[in-house]
Amino acid sequence: IVQKLSTLRGSIGYVELTIFPTVVNLNRIKLNSKQCRIYRVRVNDLEAPFLYNDPTLEVCHHESKQRNLNYFSSAYTAAVSAVDPDAGHGELVIKVPSELWKQGDDLKVLKVYIEFSLDQPKGGLHFVVPDVEGSMAERGAHVFGSCDEKMKIFSCHRFWFPCVDSYSELCTWKLEFTVDASMVAVSCGDLVETIYTHDMRKKTFHYVLPIPTAAPNISLAVGPFEILVDPYMHEVTHFCLPQLLPLLKHSMSFLHEIFEFYEEILTCRYPYSCFKTVFVDEAYVQVSSYASMSIFRADEWVLKGISGYIYGLYLKKTFGVNEYRHWIKEELDKIVEYELKMGGVLLHPTFSGGKEKDNPTPHLHFSIKHPHTLSWEYYKMFQCKAHLVMRLIENRISMEFMLQVFNKLLSLASTASSQKYQSHMWSQMLLSTHAFLKSISNVSGKDIGPLIKQWVDQSGVVKFFGSFAFNRKRNVLELEIRQDYTSSGTQKYVGPIKVTVQELDGSFNHMLQIEENSLKHDIPCHSKSRRNKKKKIPLMNGEEVDMDLSAMDADSPLLWIRIDPDMSILRKVEFEQADFMWQYQLRYERDVVAQEEAISALEKFPTPASRLALTDILEQEQCFYKVRMQACFCLAKIANAMVSTWQGPPAMKSLFTRMFCCKSCPNIVKTNNFINFQSYFLQKTMPVAMALLRDVQNLCPKDVLNFILDLIKYNDNRKNKFSDNYYRADLIKALTNSLTPAISINNEVRTVDNLNADVRLILEEITRFLNMEKLLPSFRNTITVSCLRAIRQLQKNGHIPSDPSLFKSYAQYGHFVDVRIAALEALVDYTRVERSSGELQWLLSMVQNDPVHYVRHKILGLLCKNPPFTKTTDSALCNEALVDQLWKFMNSGASHDWRLRCDAVNLYYMLFGLTRPSCLPLPELGLVLNLKEKKAVLNPTIKPELGVGAVMDTPFNTMEDEDIDMETVHDSQAFIHHHLNLLERPSTPGKHPHTHTHTHTHTHTLHSRPENSSYSVQCSFIYMASNHNNSHLNQALGNSGKEKLPFNRKKPAKPASGRGTHLPQLVGGEGD
Amino acid sequence: LRDNARGSAGKATSSPAENYLLARRRTLQVVVSALLTESGFESAEKAAVETLTEMLQSYITEIGRCAKAYCEHTARSVPTLSDTVVTLIEMGFNVDTLPIYAKRSQRMVITAPPVTNAPVTPKALSAGQKRTHPAHIPSHFPEFPDPHTYIKTPTFREPVSDYQVVREKAATQRRDVERALTRFIAKTGETQSLFKDDITTFPLIAARPSTIPYLSALLPSELELQALEETDSSEQDDQTDGENTAGNAITDDPGADKENSMLPPSGVVPSTKASEDNVIDNPYLRPVKKPKVRRKK
């Protein structure tokens, strides 16, 4: 690739591909390309005709009034399939000149040369050019390939250069970038040399990447970067924007340790000879990696699973087992919650032939066939599940074997990659589920087939309900484990399950078999229920402790019971045991997961005993700090439930005073010293939890509020080594939590005069904090973020007038991104509460126009999380104009950004559901024709909800079957008639005599391109053509001299299958 | 005010010090008049005489002041002739011409001014007993000044060292400063308000987008850096309020060691590595090559 970049948001360049034919009859080459203007294509120095068609620019071509998400999703999936490089498709079709066919048949090398330019790209490359005085370098202008992990899998590199945009096509690379002399161009591979251009005003960076790498792993960043060579590893280079070098040094000071960890654990050297990290502004996602782990791929879940799994290992090593187990529980809870709510997450879908009943995930409103039709949330959950499944495999085969498998895969890959010019060997570098499983069985000798079948080939989690009874006569624990496998997102589990019983005489593990019909399991107890008070009680970890056993049931030796303590099933367990058992579990079980489960369970038992257990945990310094933090919130809930019988000062107040206040003056907090992180986190969390306390009038107790105000007043960070910005932000959060709805008489207008006295104090603090932030900004502006949330809460509770203008000003481009997101969150909330169409429009226009991709994505995400209305509620906001607006945005407006399009689809689903939005008038037609299956079906708009793909899920593979005539003017009418002949008459003729299937073709061939000067004319036509609507089309068709097609706008034409909808819109010229 | 002035004027005539000064002045006026006559003037305006008198007086005063300074430089207390000569030279006067001028023929002799008593400087108020000289100091040395001029006399109150009051004061002071400062900025610039009817009670400084917002959000302010340096030098652990170290620095926690080991290794590179830095071969540090000159065929 040779590319010249200009700071005027554009670039020109060319790509030269070397192709080794592996089949005869290679007369067409399909590549991926979007947004690029292709000037000319040459194959082995011969001009080649080419054809450019991007069906995803506009998903549904008909001016459809259907507005049905089912329809959209299937059309979109089809459009994406039509350019899927893994299926041999692409937007750019190059015809190999006939002179070279012979050469191709001899399997000789073909060199394809493509000249292209990129002007003001909307996606792929992101230009950040701050609008200030000075040269580009002084302004910190930079550009980078903006792509996230998910999109990388398939798609976004075609946005900035033509390529085979797939992980499965590996090749070696030579890259040249010419940029302004003040800039640095960072790309993949080894920087061979940097040379000035002849005018000495620009530099060309020459890169070589000798290791076969797929196009999605290639990226680029250009900017006036400061360069830091890693002091521990000189082959590692870090880059950041001007002035940020100190932060870079700090952030990267651990990198060498991480490197060592990975190389040690994989017993494999990092495959590339250099490593670069680049920090940019306005990034698409927080991290994206290129040309690093690219030797993995093929099956996404394996790749994501392994990287997540290794991350977990690193976490365990660096932060300890508690942190690791806490993380695993958190991730497990997350995936369980998502699947139970939204339906199953399928790691390894198999698609057999695109028949409607084969759709593996009918519960979703999008297709999981292609990564870029996936919802963002779903994809995150997919990653989460993948690494949890990897952990299950590890549990099964042991970590040692697991690492051996990784090592084996890596060494195979690196051997393959070192074999130059033997591209067939490079397939070893790709990782499929099959190869992974084979490697596991070779190394461990174990068959993990059932495990894979359960968690990888099948979606859903397991939902257990457990309860027990103790049979004193038989001294047996009768455990009952039921399952819910009928609700959405669940699956049935059959197999072993571990149950741990803590008895008086010790802790015992039992392996039970969950079978089809047996619910009850008898577990013999080891201990007699007699009580020997002197005796210490042995725990699972061998520790022996004294316990106060007075709370126990005198007849039972059971202290507590845990189901699947090792989290070796992806499950949710609802287990019933007595409150004292949970309390014992919280106090004496040493596993943090058990402690957290106990805390959650204790919320349902607001008793003095629970209070005591929680307080003891809070005070226990040996206890994991995250457990203690969770205990704070549980204690607040219990205190509220016990409000009428609560004795003593408000919960946690005396504890906080004892731990963090001065001994001589207990109302004053000590000056900050955050050297001990555990107590720092506790100090930060306790006020937030305390503020949730309520008295009998359901108000925050005066004591508590004054206490928090004092914490703010006496906060003194002058002698602290660490910044207190997060602590102060949490104190503001505490103020926010203390707010309760204002008592309002007759909806009076909120003014300063009728402000509640407490609220006045709070408001004064917030005003001061927010103003001080302008003079002394805190790190990441955390204080502003907290203040904005507080102000929204004040508005929502009716203390101050509800008004969006403040948030709008903070949401503008030019504020730090965290601040913008906080302001947008408030605006989204305002939109919902006030049902304001003005604000909704404001937000939607920002979605379309904001320069920062992340912010656009985030707005849609926030709207989905807190929707202004849903498909089940009525709202004045729900109207035809909004449907049209969103539809248009999904259909064509977001074509440059897969993620944004999926976000918009999500929002549409949230607002209107899968079927035709209820606010639209009923369609006139009851029947539509299905071209592909040659039958008439009920109009899907009137049909009840259907899974995606039920109407149509046929990829556009017909393109492959027929030769596209690129030489002559396309006879569109003939083509349409040809297709119409395929159609059998509908079975109910005469009922809708005007039913027509509308397909249109729009092909232009431009012969002979005389001068270079005509390029621009020709290219601008590409974009005109691709943005056309139907009237334009009709006109174009009319101009071709044939009769005009009757076009019935009311009629939702059959969701077109075949090539109708996605025919090429432009044929590039053939050179002389 | 006028009464006052007149009163003081009336008083002046009777004051002996005033009389002394007036007599001197009168003599100077006579001298000026004599010099004018000598130079051939027959009459002169009063204002002119007054001005010349003033100039003469300044000149003589300067000679005196300067001569005194010279003598004090050489650790004497009474000026000698040479002090005066040096002074005159310093003031740009040609001393050689002085004897001739003094012996000129047309010199007028002026009568000596009437003897008036030099005014007695009133004694300063003495406080306490003056110390007598110790044995090793000769008696001709000046006397000791009043004891209050050199003895430390504690006149201030005991400073407030009560911890609670100090904290209270510091907190209040900071809050007042912050409030005053933000209110000032708010009053002098653009503001936003949470209430439509009242824009002054809770004025918010308007949010202004910046061109490179990440700089201020990520980099610590100068103030913070300064504070950090101060903390570093004054060793966090030696906190003076003594209350602090007790509860906060819990170290018997088993996890504490782990956490501490996670602290950044003070950001400094080991010295052995640092010395190798000179020989780092990193492609981004290499100089940019000049373009090859294309040879014309």
Is the Cβ pair B256, A191 closer than 8 Å? no
Residues of B in Cβ contact (< 8 Å) with A130: 211-212
> What was the pLDDT predicted at B152?
78
pLDDT of residue A357: 46
Q: What is the pTM of this model?
A: 0.73
Rounded distance, CA A372 to CA A466, Å? 40
Mark yes or no for CB contact A244/B218 under 8 Å: yes
Q: How confident is the model at residue A498 (pLDDT cuts 50, 70, 90)?
A: very high
The predicted structure's pLDDT at residue A635: 96
Which of B221, B231, B243 lies nearest to residue A720, judging by beta carbons?
Answer: B231
Q: Are strands A184-187 and B204-205 parallel, antiparallel or unpaired?
A: unpaired
Q: Which residues of A touch B171 (CB under 8 A)?
A: 713-714, 716
Which residue in A190, A318, A676 is closest to B283 by CB distance?
A: A190
CA distance B155 to chain A (A): 30
> Do B185 and A676 count as a contact with CB atoms less than 8 A apart?
no
| End-to-end Cα distance, chain B | 104
- Among A247, A751, A764, select the one facing B197 at the smallest CB separation: A751
Which residues from chain A sit within 8 angstroms of residue B164, using beta carbons? 662, 664-665, 668
Using the Cβ of A273 and the Cβ atoms of chain B, whether some distance falls under 8 Å is answered with no
Measured between CB atoms, does B196 come within 8 Å of chain A? yes
State the Cα–Cα distance between residues A155 and A379, nearest whole angstrom. Answer: 15
Q: Which of B165, B196, B208, B218 to mutate to test the interface with A (most CBs of A within 10 A)?
A: B218
A911 three-class SS: helix
Whether residue B289 lies within 8 A of chain A, CB to CB, comes out as yes
Region A870-880: what's the mean pLDDT?
A: 84
The answer on pLDDT for B274 being more than 70 is no
A768 touches chain B (CB under 8 A): yes
Please report which confidence band the pLDDT of residue A286 belongs to, taking 50, 70 and 90 as the band edges. Answer: low
Copy the structure tokens of residue A433. Answer: 């589920």
Match 């870079």 to its residue by tokens. Answer: A248
Smallest CA-to-CA distance from A29 within A82, A103, A97, A79 is with A97
Distance of alpha carbon B163 from alpha carbon A663, whole angstroms: 11
Helix, strand, coil distribution of chain B in percent, nearest 5: 50, 0, 50
Mean pLDDT is lowest, of A40-49, A366-375, A549-558, for: A366-375
For chains A and B, CB pairs below 8 A equal: 244
Q: Which residues pair with A575 in a beta bridge?
A: A466
Alpha-carbon span A274 to A235, nearest angstrom = 5
Backbone angles phi, psi at A261, to 5 degrees: -60, -45
C-alpha dihedral sign at A918, A921, A927, A933: negative
To which residue do tokens 């027959």 refer?
B42
Per the DSSP assignment, residues forming a β-bridge with A545 are A537
Locate A437 and state its tokens: 């499983």
Contact in structure between A240 and A226 (CB atoms under 8 Å): yes
Task: Tally Cβ neighbours within 10 Å of residue A175.
Answer: 23
**Residue A1003 — pLDDT band, cuts 50, 70, 90?**
very low
Q: By the 8 A CB rule, do A719 and B239 touch?
A: yes
Confidence of residue A284 (pLDDT cuts 50, 70, 90): low
- For A680, name the nearest residue in chain B, comparing CA atoms only: B248
**Listed residue (A321, A365, A178) closest to A913, CA to CA:** A365
Q: Which of A131-135, A342-346, A584-588, A935-939 has the lowest mean pLDDT?
A: A935-939
CB contact under 8 A, A665 and B221: no
Are A234 and B282 inside 8 Å of each other by CB?
yes
CA angle A831, A834, A839 (to 5 degrees): 35
Name every chain A residue with its beta carbon within 8 A of the beta carbon of B231.
718-721
pLDDT bucket at B138, cuts 50 / 70 / 90 = confident
Cross-chain Cβ contact A660/B234 below 8 Å:
no
Q: Judge contact between A1068 and A1014, C-beta under 8 A.
A: no
Residues of A (309-348) whose Cβ lies below 8 Å from B:
318-320, 322
A426-464 burial, b at 16+ Cβ within 10 Å, e below that, comes to bebbbbebebbbebbeebbeeebeebbebbbeebbbbbb
Q: Determine the pLDDT at residue A756.
A: 86
Would you call A771 and B204 a contact, using CB atoms and an 8 Å cutoff?
yes
User: Which of A215-219, A681-685, A780-784, A810-814 has the weakest average pLDDT?
Assistant: A215-219
Binned at pLDDT 50, 70 and 90, residue B294 comes out as: low
Task: State whether residue B40 sits within 8 Å of chain A by CB.
Answer: no
User: Would you place residue A638 in the very low, low, confident or very high pLDDT band (cuts 50, 70, 90)?
Assistant: very high
Instruction: Check CB contact of A533 with chain B, cutoff 8 Å.
Output: no
With bands split at pLDDT 50, 70 and 90, how would you rate the model's confidence at A992?
A: very low
Q: How far is the C-alpha of A824 from the C-alpha of A818, rounded, in Å? A: 10
Give the nearest partner residue to B194 out of A718, A800, A810, using CB atoms.
A800
Q: Has residue A978 got a pLDDT over 60?
A: no
Q: What are the C-alpha distances in Å from B212 to residues A154, A185, A722, A775, B209?
A: 33, 21, 25, 16, 9
Q: What is the pLDDT of residues A520-542, one digit of tens each?
A: 899 998 876 555 556 788 898 88
B chain contacts of residue A676, beta-carbon cutoff 8 Å:
248-251, 253, 256, 259
Taking residues A377-401, what's their average pLDDT?
92
**pLDDT at site A186:** 85
In terms of CA atoms, which chain A residue is nearest residue B200? A752
User: Highest mean pLDDT: which of A72-76, A150-154, A594-598?
Assistant: A594-598
Q: Which pLDDT score is estimated for A1048?
A: 37
CA distance A799 to A741: 8
Burial class (CB in 10 A: 0-12, 13-18, 19+), A895: buried
Non-local (6+) Cβ contacts of A305 within 8 A are: A347, A386, A387, A389, A390
Bigger pLDDT: B126 vs A840 = A840
Instruction: Give the C-alpha separation, B174 to A947, whole Å.
Output: 63
Share of chain A above pLDDT 90, in %: 33
Domains of chain B by range and CATH? 17-103 (1.10.20.10)
Q: What is the CA radius of gyration of chain A?
A: 32
| CB pair distance less than 8 Å for B239 and A719 | yes
CA–CA dist A122, B53 (Å, integer): 91
Please give the average per-residue pLDDT across A763-773, as a whole number. Answer: 94
Flag whether pLDDT at A1054 surpasses 50.
no
User: What's the mean pLDDT in A353-363?
Assistant: 57
How far apart (Å, rounded) are the C-alpha atoms in residues B241 and B232?
17
> What mean pLDDT is predicted for residues A304-316?
88
Q: With a cut of 60, say whether residue B252 has pLDDT above it.
A: no
- pLDDT over threshold 80, residue A94: yes
Are A325 and A406 within 8 A, CB to CB? no
> Which pLDDT does position A804 carry in this prediction?
94
Residue A569 and residue A572: Cα distance in Å, rounded?
9
**A135 token code pair:** 């040269």
Q: Which of A951, A998, A1059 is nearest to A354 (CA)?
A: A951
User: Of all residues in chain A, what percent are helix, strand and coil, respectively (each to 5)?
Assistant: 40, 15, 45
Q: What is the pLDDT of residues A326-339, one digit of tens each?
A: 999 999 999 999 99
State pLDDT tens for residues A896-908. Answer: 777 888 899 989 9
Listed range (A302-306, A387-391, A866-870) with the worst mean pLDDT: A302-306
- Residue-wise burial string across B37-50, b where 16 or more C-beta atoms lie within 10 A, e elsewhere: eeeeeeeeeeeebe
Question: Which residue in A has a C-alpha nearest to residue B292's C-alpha?
Answer: A198
Is the Cβ pair B255, A664 closer than 8 Å?
A: no
Q: Which long-range contacts (CB under 8 A, 24 or more apart) does A566-569 make?
A: A566/A395, A566/A498, A567/A328, A567/A329, A567/A332, A567/A593, A568/A392, A568/A395, A568/A498, A569/A392, A569/A462, A569/A493, A569/A497
- Report CB contact under 8 Å: B175, A713: yes
Using CB atoms, which residue from A247, A660, A819 is nearest to B247?
Answer: A660
Structure tokens at A288: 């994206």
- One DSSP character per residue, B159-207 reads P---HHHHHHHHHHHHHHHHHHHHHHHHHHS-EE-S-SS-SSSS-EEPP
- Put simply, the answer to whether B171 touches A812 (Cβ < 8 Å) is no
Q: Quick check: A922 pLDDT over 70?
A: no
Helix (H, G, I), strand (E, B) or coil at A601: helix
Q: How far is CA A751 from CA A211, A748, B201, B294, in A?
A: 68, 9, 11, 78
Per-residue pLDDT averaged across B277-282, rounded?
Answer: 68
Burial class (CB in 10 A: 0-12, 13-18, 19+), A971: middle
Encode A325-343: b = buried (16+ Cβ within 10 Å), e = exposed.
bbbbbebbeebbebbbebb
Q: Which of residues 643-682 of A touch B (CB under 8 A)?
A: 658-660, 662-665, 668, 670-671, 673, 675-679
Cα-based angle A705, A711, A712 (whole degrees, multiple of 5): 95
Q: Across the interface, do A253 and B267 touch by the CB < 8 Å criterion?
A: yes
Taking only the tens place, the pLDDT of each residue in B67-116 is 999 999 998 888 999 999 999 999 999 989 988 888 888 788 887 776 76
Whether residue A95 has pLDDT greater than 50: yes
Residues A266, A267, A273, A276, Cα dihedral to 10°: 40
pLDDT of residue A665: 87
Rounded Cα–Cα distance for residues B185 and A560 (Å): 62
Q: Is the CB of A809 less than 8 angstroms away from the CB of B273?
A: no
Question: Which residues in A lie closer than 8 A to residue B163 (C-beta atoms)?
Answer: 662, 664-665
- Chain B contacts of A678, Cβ < 8 Å? 250, 253, 255-256, 259
Does the ipTM surpass 0.85? no
Contacts of A232 in chain B (CB under 8 A): 269, 273
Alpha carbon distance A1039, A113 (integer Å): 34
Q: Which of A149, A152, A145 is nearest to A126 (CA)?
A: A145
B136: Cβ–Cβ under 8 A, 6 or more apart, which residues? none
In B39-96, which residue ranges form alpha helices assigned H by DSSP?
Answer: 46-73, 81-90
Residue numbers of B between 203 and 242 with CB closer than 8 Å to A: 203-207, 209-221, 223-224, 227-228, 230-232, 234, 236, 239, 241
Per-window interface: A 426-445 vs B, CB < 8 A: none
pLDDT at A523: 92
Report the alpha-carbon distance of residue A681 to residue A976 in Å, rounded.
69
Q: pLDDT: is A917 or A513 the higher one?
A: A513
Nearest by CB to B288, from A195, A771, A815: name it: A195
Chain-wide mean pLDDT for chain A? Answer: 78
pLDDT attached to residue A159: 63
- Is A665 in Cβ contact with B259 (below 8 Å)? no
- Residues A127, A203 contacting (CB under 8 angstroms): no
Contact flag B164-A718 (C-beta cutoff 8 Å): no
**Between chains, do A320 and B258 touch, taking CB under 8 Å as contact?**
yes
Q: Closest Cα partner for A589 from A571, A577, A603, A604?
A: A577
Whole-number Å distance between alpha carbons of A249 and A178? 28
